[in-house]
Amino acid sequence: TDTQSTPADAPKKPVLPDAQTVTEVKHWTDRLFSFRVTRPASLRFRSGEFVMIGLMGDPHPETGKLKPLLRAYSIASPSWDEEMEFYSIKVQDGPLTSKLQHIKVGDQIIMRPKPVGTLVHDALLPGKRIWFFATGTGFAPFASLLREPQTYEDYDEVIITHTCREAGELKYGADLIESLKTDELLNEVIGEGFWKKIKYYPTTTREESPKMGRITDLMRSGEAFADLGVTPLNPETDRAMICGNLAFNLELKEMFEEYGLEEGANSDPKHYVVEKAFLD
Ligand code: A2P
């Protein structure tokens, strides 16, 4: 019988192109949330890369046509993970995040399966220490790279700085770093105690916390290096990745050039790489 087939006039269930299903949503503050979605079996990416994700936009007022609303999001999960994780800001009048912040487990989002990006190990020359510099949701690519075995294979020391306005905005990163201690895969592949290679330096600028100030100012004064017990960056030993707001990225680039570090790319690996954190 053909009772299983859909009659031609039956309403069709709207299916998003490149749809993935939401498997987890966590709200960290009234401005920040993270979520996980299914991963297409064929999708390969390098830890630190980004993809375009989004939702179907509202119908065009005249034509009624639907167009996807997509933005570049760093993948926060590592390349080996069976799901994909993202870390996002909520902008109340943001075209995408005003809607995206309401997703629930079981909902679908659009994810274009074309990962790209410069915050990848391939874009850096070999070195002894790797620095990750983030502001706000710029932590996302480092959430991927911190869970990537290659990070610990390639470097003796991993230093992550994260500057946020308020203390609550540090929680996603702080929890992630804490979770590394019991990460079975990393403990197995890299060896127990691998996480002792990590130095974590969280700072806030607009709310009281154990360390206050912009990381740029704390480096200029030497305070950050003294707190961490490390020497300032130099091109012989140090590699760095930057992901934050535009002003932050530019300021750090300028500082790095003063230290003698040069910007690398996939096709031309050097000392540091930069990517702008997503803002709706
Ligand atoms: P501040 O509060 O002093 O502006 P935002 O939410 O605006 O993207 O900022 C995230 C964090 O990045 C804030 O703590 C902010 O500090 C900091 N920040 C903004 N611009 C710079 C910069 N040029 N250098 C260092 N930190 C910056």
Judging by DSSP bridges, how do beta strands 32-38 and 19-27 pair with one another? antiparallel
CA of 135 to the centre of ligand 1 (A): 7
Query: Would you say residue 79 has pLDDT above 90?
Result: yes
How high is the mean pLDDT of the chain? 94
Residue 71 burial (CB < 10 Å; 0-12/13-18/19+)?
Answer: middle
User: Relative to the CA of 277, which ligand 1 atom is closest?
Assistant: 8
Question: Given this model, what pLDDT does residue 1 score?
Answer: 41
Rounded to 5 degrees, what are φ and ψ at 256? -65, -40
> What architecture (CATH level 2) is domain 19-116?
Beta Barrel (2.40)
Mean pLDDT of 75-83: 97
CA of 177 to the centre of ligand 1 (A): 22
User: Relative to the CA of 165, which ligand 1 atom is closest?
Assistant: 14
CA of 162 to the centre of ligand 1 (A): 10
Q: What percent of the chain has pLDDT over 70?
A: 95
Query: Would you say residue 35 has pLDDT above 80?
Result: yes
Residue to substitute in 89, 135, 207 for testing ligand 1 pocket (most ligand atoms within 8 angstroms of CB): 135
Question: Given this model, what pLDDT does residue 9 score?
Answer: 56
User: Relative to the CA of 251, which ligand 1 atom is closest?
Assistant: 23
Question: Given this model, what pLDDT does residue 190 score?
Answer: 92
Could you give the ipTM of this predicted complex?
A: 0.98
Lowest mean per-residue pLDDT among 13-17, 134-138, 196-200: 13-17
Radius of gyration of the chain (CA): 20
> CA torsion, points 177, 182, 186, 192, in degrees to nearest 10?
110
- Structure token digits, residue 105: 């487990």
Mean pLDDT of 65-78: 95
Ligand 1 first shell, C-beta below 6 A:
135-136, 163-165, 205-206, 214, 216, 245, 247-248, 251
279 vs 7, higher pLDDT: 279
Mean pLDDT of 145-154: 97
CA of 80 to the centre of ligand 1 (A): 32
Tell the residue number behind the tokens 């299914």, with chain if given. Answer: 38
Q: Which one is the CATH code of 121-276: 3.40.50.300, 1.20.1530.20, 3.40.50.80, 3.40.50.1110?
A: 3.40.50.80
CA of 276 to the centre of ligand 1 (A): 13
Tell the residue number behind the tokens 């932050």, with chain if given. Answer: 248
> CA torsion, points 71, 72, 74, 77, in degrees to nearest 10?
60
CB 45 within 8 A of CB 75: yes
User: Relative to the CA of 203, which ligand 1 atom is closest?
Assistant: 14
Q: What is the pLDDT of residues 173-204, one digit of tens each?
A: 999 999 999 999 999 999 998 999 999 999 99
Question: Given this model, what pLDDT does residue 279 score?
Answer: 81
Question: Given this model, what pLDDT does residue 278 score?
Answer: 83
User: Relative to the CA of 247, which ligand 1 atom is closest?
Assistant: 23
Q: What percent of the chain has pLDDT over 90?
A: 88
Query: Would you say residue 4 has pLDDT above 70?
Result: no
Query: Would you say residue 220 has pLDDT above 60?
Result: yes
What are the residue boundaries of the structural domains of the chain, listed by start?
A: 19-116, 121-276
CA of 106 to the centre of ligand 1 (A): 35
Report how far residue 181's alpha carbon sits from residue 193's, in angstroms, rounded to the nearest whole number: 7
Q: Which amino acid is located at 152 in the chain?
A: Y
Rounded to 5 degrees, what are φ and ψ at 138? -65, -5
CA of 216 to the centre of ligand 1 (A): 10
Q: What is the pLDDT of residues 261-280, one digit of tens each?
A: 999 999 999 999 999 998 88
CB 63 within 8 A of CB 119: no
Q: What is the pLDDT of residues 46-60, one digit of tens each?
A: 999 999 999 998 888
The DSSP code for 277 is P
Q: Identify the CA nearest to 117 among candidates 252, 274, 253, 270.
A: 274
Report how far residue 144's alpha carbon sits from residue 24's, in angstroms, rounded to the nearest whole number: 17
